[in-house]
Amino acid sequence: MNASTAGSGGQIVVAGAGYAGLHVALRLTAKLRNHPEVELTLVDRHDYHQVVTELPRVASGTRAADAVRIPLQEMLATRVRFVQTEINGFDLAGRRLLTGAGPIGWRRLVLALGSRPNDFAIPGLAERALSVYSASDAEQVWAAVSKALDDAAAAADPVRQRRLATVIVGGGGATGVELAGELAEILPEMARSRSLAPDRPAVQLIEAGPAILAGSSPQLTGKAASILSDLGVQVRTNAAIAAATEEGFRLTDGQLVEGGVFVWAGGVKAPELVADSGLPAGHNGRVKVDQYLRVLDHPDIYVAGDLASVTDPRTGHVLPPLAQVALEEGETVARNLAAELQGKPLEAFTFHDKGFVVSVGTRRGVADIAGLTTSGRLAHLLKDAIEWEYRQSVTHLRGWDPVAR
């Protein structure tokens, strides 16, 4: 679709159809019922929404990539104009998004472009390690793991077999833990199907800090470490990667960590496009916002999701890049856009933490909810339930507004 017709005075443009942007579009649709003059446009490079929290399952072959891509047309009401195109830049003064489909003018812009893997300028990492930030990335990890196991099965030397069939995951946050756990559970089965000894494959999780799942309670960390150990994952903490070479990850203490597949899950940063935009940047290039989630000195631009740098007044720390945070921010942005239309005061954003759940392997998990730490099957079921509930909500939110009822 050519976007050049866009840009009328009543244009609200949402850039990014991820957790935050899709939520804004869905919630705003109903709120615009009495405002036919307002055009609502959603822009994304893909014509589907990605259920990013399920990517570790795609990377370990337990879920198909297409199962985590939900077509946007199934979720959006006709009220939302969807433009599938790449966003290449911003004309802040002219209030226009610069896209492959032409400029798209805004009266209000919601920036919800998510984040990119942060390689922290570690030499070789971007070129040599895979990542898991999209369904395609996750598919590539699965393809690389499958090929590594094929190569290991074709090799005669057991040492070489072990090296080829070892997956090294860099970064012991939730993504790294989930990926390592899923793979550890699935690899022996893959080996068996290739007549390779089931103990030949291995998974190593490399974490620079003193513990995995940094920021979580020691109880949660301990329980996750115990499940990983039970699954045979070798967890190495205080192990910072200095470089990624053809041989493997070189640690700062000089050790070489060898393997057949290398995946980086060590952190995220704002997309370069935003970092170069002139918008005020905070930690890792995330955009600084006021209490209403508007960019500082740009009241016409809201930011939600991973891209927003929002400090939690209770902890003094910037909120982590989580789907849960993105959805809550999306909710506040939708309410504030509606409030502006109705001439009502804006609502300050407050994060209501619902807890932290991480799956570890295909059957177990760990969870910190309302001050209680749990682990095992229940925590895994909880994670499944959260993802199921999310899928239900995006397909049913279409035009639904509890406040308007």
Ligand X SMILES: Cc1cc2nc3c(=O)[nH]c(=O)nc-3n(C[C@H](O)[C@H](O)[C@H](O)COP(=O)(O)OP(=O)(O)OC[C@H]3O[C@@H](n4cnc5c(N)ncnc54)[C@H](O)[C@@H]3O)c2cc1C
Residues engaged in binding ligand X (CB under 6 A): 16-21, 44-46, 52-53, 55-56, 86-87, 112-114, 132-133, 174-175, 271, 273, 305-307, 321-324, 326
Cβ proximity to ligand X: between 202 and 326 the closer is 326
Both tokens of 171, joined, read: 């970064």
| DSSP-derived 3-state class of residue 237 | coil
3-state secondary structure of 130: strand
| β-strand pairing of 108-111 with 364-369 | unpaired
| Of 112, 138, 130, residue with least CA distance to 55 | 138
Q: Judged by CB, which is closer to ligand X: 197, or 281?
A: 281
Q: CB atoms < 10 A from the CB of 174, how many?
A: 25
Residue sitting closest to ligand X (CB): 18
Comparing CB distances to ligand X, the nearer of 7 and 16 is 16
| Residue 113 CB, nearest approach to ligand X (Å) | 4
Question: Cβ neighbours of residue 301 under 8 Å, at least 6 residues apart?
Answer: 108, 109, 110, 111, 279, 294, 295
Amino acid at 315: T
Query: How far is 380 from 389, CA to CA, in rounded Å?
Result: 14
Report in angstroms how near the CB of residue 48 gets to ligand X at its nearest. 8
Smallest separation, CB 344 to ligand X (Å): 25
Asked whether the CA dihedral 186, 187, 190, 196 is positive or negative, the reply is negative
Please state the closest distance from residue 94 (CB atom) to ligand X, in A. 18
Report which residue type is found at 122. I
CB of 56 to ligand X, least distance (A): 6
- In the complex with ligand X, which residue's Cβ is closer, 6 or 87? 87
- In whole angstroms, the minimum distance from the beta carbon of 32 to ligand X comes to 20
For ligand X, the closer CB: 171 or 250: 171
Closest CB to ligand X among 55 and 366? 55
